[in-house]
Amino acid sequence: MNFNFTRNIHFTKLIKAANRLREFNFRMLPGTSNSLFHVDVPDDRGNRIMFKMQKADNQWKIVDEGLPVWVSGNENLLNDAICEEVS
């Protein structure tokens, strides 16, 4: 009997954004390419902001547009969080 295991990566990081510590949740869905993370974070009212990050040129970049500045402005910190966890 041969088993095939797919790694499910899911982690949470506290990152300071807009002068507050915010809980960013990262998830790489099994069965998808290893170059896409789904990320979500609550805003000040508790609404979830969901977006994707894709690996391009050895950097994790935000794919979606129309995100708050405190999310898109911290792309480098989000990249570092993913690299730290995946490596």
Residue appearing with tokens 């896409």:
36
Q: Which domain holds residue 64?
A: 9-86
pLDDT in tens, 8-31: 789 999 999 999 999 999 999 776
Q: What is the domain count for the chain?
A: 1
pLDDT of 56 strictly over 80 = yes
Residue appearing with tokens 């894709």:
54
Q: Is 74 a member of any domain?
A: yes
Q: Is 30 a member of any domain?
A: yes
The larger pLDDT score, comparing residue 35 to residue 22, is at 22
Q: Is 2 a member of any domain?
A: no
Give the global pTM.
0.87
